[in-house]
Amino acid sequence: MLTDPAAAGLSWNLVTDVRELTSFPFMVNALEAGTIVAVMAAVVGWFMVVRQQTFAGHTLSLVAFPGAAAASLAALPLAVGYFGACALAALVLSAVSGSGARNRSAESAAIGSVQAFALACGFLFVSLYSGVLNNLDSLLFGTFLGVTTGQVLTLLLIAAAVLTLVALTARPLLFASVDPDVARANGVPVRALAVGFLVVLGLAVAATSQITGALLVFALLVTPAATAQQITMRPGPSLFLSVVLALAVTWVGLGIAYFSVYPVGFWVTSLSFGVYVAVRIVRAVAERRDRTQEPASPEPVDSLVVQ
Amino acid sequence: MFAHEFMRNAFLAGTPIALACGLVGYFVVLRGQVFAGDALSHVAFAGALAAAAFGIDLRLGLFAATILVALGMGGLGERARADDVVIGSVFAWILGLGALFLSIFTSDASGTTTGTAGVRVLFGSIFGLGLGEALVAALIGLGACAAILLIARPLLFSSVDPAVAAARGVPVRALGFGFLAILGVVAAEATQAVGALLLLGLIAAPAGAARLLTSRPYTGLALAGALSVLSLWVGLTLSYSIGALPPSSAIIATAVAIFAAAAVKARLGASRPRPHSPRARGAGEA
């Protein structure tokens, strides 16, 4: 990742560090792509966590890998493979989980089978087209630092589409996620929203996995959202916090990765997991203190705000 | 086909592993812990790469990582059942660690074999097992099968209705931990056969098919084991006869095909009217 180690001196002056970071076009591209991806992943991931579809989201993120492998086998652009495979998998998943909503264990077995089959196909494509083997690590773990300007533009378009869709359907989607039965009784098209959300999730995951790699999408998708929901359960602030956290871990992770020899995926996942663990510990301590000091505390713990 | 030593070794090691995967998988599906199994398979990858990066035996890293994380996930969740968000956050980080170890490993060992080690862990190398390795794998697989059969009865009880089981004096929490530990062992073992990314197929697909085909628990358990072994045999044979088809892909594709067939059969059966409809089993859902 570092072509010239002498150029990458970390000093205590943050301003010069940031100036040095942004003096390379590849770092600017990486920061722009990271910003777009972080905002989109945090918003979509927040709904994913509320809807308890983490397993489906993980499966979609892994499907990006066979998609990319198939695209390179067929000499198509990689982006076609990513988006095609994720959209297809989203439709398959919603078909599989359609009737089995009452029985979650059967549904998860089905999701697991879809995932394993997709990965088996991916491995088959990779072994058929041995040239991609050299890029296997970047397919799985991402190439944050090899983002082109064209990719940034594509990401921007996808993110705009995804965020617009989510913004337009945010209220009914939240309603349908929190209480599907009441929402259905109120005339909210729960089923259509579920299918639509999976497709949007697929698009977001495909875009994210081009940057973070198929295996590390989760660091941006689930961890900031989970952290934000630990801090507050009110939808607005929680969603906002999730975006802020995702942006922070992406920027700091990219910055550290530039000055270190270890991969960016490691830094981003470690930072977001560290924040998650810290928030959980703070919350557990606060809950225990509340319980010991005032046994009948009227204030709900869910609205606890950590400064 | 059996004239080749690598094929004999593959069958010798693969059959007990597949049997263990099927048996454990039945409980994984019954308890709604497929996502935990999925996470463990990724942990296996990170563990093996850590071992490779520090130059210790791969299997040591595999077993240590999966068993430790299995117990850790049990500790985080209530009644030794971790919830999806906790699992997702933990294993996103562990995959990040995997990426770190991969980069340490590839920068340390500069040579022709660097790229293939990661691929071997991710996608398995059942045709690359020696006789000694195959025997060890077979023994561990049989041990896991024996352990799961030993605790099958109380585990079944505590999976289907944890509250009643606890009231009847069944150690629900200890069983949950023990089960996750066995799942960890099986995940580590199966990583060598079908690879970290694909072992979920052997755990989820045959068990899911068995759950769709029968609602009787012991029949289902036996069926899950049998279907899993069948997938392995068919997959190995397919891969042997079609040169370009990797064995892990063939095994998983067979298992998923069986699951798909079972799902179609179940859906057709459900649309037909029945004299006594079986009760919907909301198995293991609290």
ipTM: 0.78
- Of the pLDDT bands very low, low, confident and very high (cuts 50, 70, 90), residue A10 is low
Average pLDDT, chain A: 79
Residue B78 bridge partners (DSSP): B81
Query: Which chain A residues have a beta carbon less than 8 Å from that of B88?
Result: 54, 58, 218, 222-223, 226
Residue type, B75: G
Out of B86, B198, B283, the one facing A116 most closely (by C-beta) is B198
Mean pLDDT of the region A75-79 = 79
Mean pLDDT of the region B52-68 = 82
Q: Within the 108-127 window of chain B, which residues sit less than 8 Å (CB to CB) from chain A?
A: 115, 118-119, 122-123
Query: Which chain B residues have a beta carbon less than 8 Å from that of A127?
Result: 244, 246, 249
Vertex B74, ends B68 and B76: CA angle to 5°?
Answer: 105
Q: Percent of chain A having pLDDT more than 90?
A: 6
Q: Do B84 and A55 touch (CB under 8 A)?
A: yes
For position B278, what pLDDT does the model report?
A: 46
DSSP B110: -
Q: Do A119 and B84 touch (CB under 8 A)?
A: no
CB-based burial label for A307 (10 Å; 0-12, 13-18, 19+): exposed
Mean pLDDT of the region B259-277 = 72
Q: How many CB atoms lie within 10 A of CB A261?
A: 12
**Is A235's pLDDT higher than 50?**
yes
- Of the pLDDT bands very low, low, confident and very high (cuts 50, 70, 90), residue A164 is very high
Which token pair is B47?
């563990």
**Is A275:A245 a contact under the CB 8 Å cutoff?**
yes
Predicted TM-score of the model (pTM): 0.79
pLDDT in tens, A246-268: 999 888 888 888 777 777 888 88
For position B117, what pLDDT does the model report?
A: 62
DSSP B98: H
Out of A106, A124, A265, the one facing B249 most closely (by C-beta) is A124
Q: Do A137 and B244 touch (CB under 8 A)?
A: no
Check CB contact of B41 with chain A, cutoff 8 Å.
Answer: no
Q: Percent of chain A having pLDDT more than 70?
A: 81
- Of the pLDDT bands very low, low, confident and very high (cuts 50, 70, 90), residue A243 is very high
pLDDT in tens, B101-116: 877 777 655 444 445 6
How close, in Å, is residue A37 to chain B by CA atoms?
Answer: 16
Residue B81 bridge partners (DSSP): B78
Mean pLDDT of the region B74-85 = 64
Check CB contact of B265 with chain A, cutoff 8 Å.
Answer: no
**Is B284's pLDDT higher than 60?**
no
**Is A179's pLDDT higher than 70?**
yes
Give the three-state DSSP class for B30. Answer: helix
How close, in Å, is residue B25 to chain A by CA atoms?
Answer: 9
- Of the pLDDT bands very low, low, confident and very high (cuts 50, 70, 90), residue B286 is very low
Radius of gyration from C-alpha coordinates of chain B: 19
Query: Which chain A residues have a beta carbon less than 8 Å from that of B29?
Result: 105-106, 108-109
How close, in Å, is residue A119 to chain B by CA atoms?
Answer: 7
DSSP B245: S
For position A126, what pLDDT does the model report?
A: 77
Mean pLDDT of the region A127-141 = 64
How close, in Å, is residue A147 to chain B by CA atoms?
Answer: 19
For position B99, what pLDDT does the model report?
A: 79
How close, in Å, is residue A123 to chain B by CA atoms?
Answer: 7
For position B277, what pLDDT does the model report?
A: 42
Higher pLDDT, B110 or A175: A175
Q: What is the 3-state secondary structure (H, E, C) of chain A?
A: CCCCHHHCCCCCCHHHHHHHHCCCHHHHHHHHHHHHHHHHHHHHHHHHHHCCCHHHHHHHHHHHHHHHHHHHHCCCCHHHHHHHHHHHHHHHHHHHCCHHHHCHHHHHHHHHHHHHHHHHHHHHHHHHCHHHHHHHHHHHHCCHHHCCHHHHHHHHHHHHHHHHHHHHHHHHHHHHHHCHHHHHHCCCCHHHHHHHHHHHHHHHHHHHHHHHCCCCHHHHHCHHHHHHHHHCCCHHHHHHHHHHHHHHHHHHHHHHHHHCCCCHHHHHHHHHHHHHHHHHHHHHHHHHHHHHHCCCCCCCHHHCCCC
**Is B172's pLDDT higher than 50?**
yes
Higher pLDDT, A234 or A102: A234
For position B227, what pLDDT does the model report?
A: 92
Out of B88, B97, B118, the one facing A137 most closely (by C-beta) is B118
Check CB contact of B69 with chain A, cutoff 8 Å.
Answer: no
**Is B265's pLDDT higher than 60?**
yes
Mean pLDDT of the region A124-153 = 70
For position B281, what pLDDT does the model report?
A: 43
Residue type, A134: N
Torsion of CA B204, B209, B215, B216, to 10 degrees: -80
**Is A119's pLDDT higher than 80?**
yes
CA distance B136 to B129: 10
For position B127, what pLDDT does the model report?
A: 77
For position B120, what pLDDT does the model report?
A: 67
- Of the pLDDT bands very low, low, confident and very high (cuts 50, 70, 90), residue A100 is very low
Whose CA is closest to B286, among A215, A227, A105?
A105
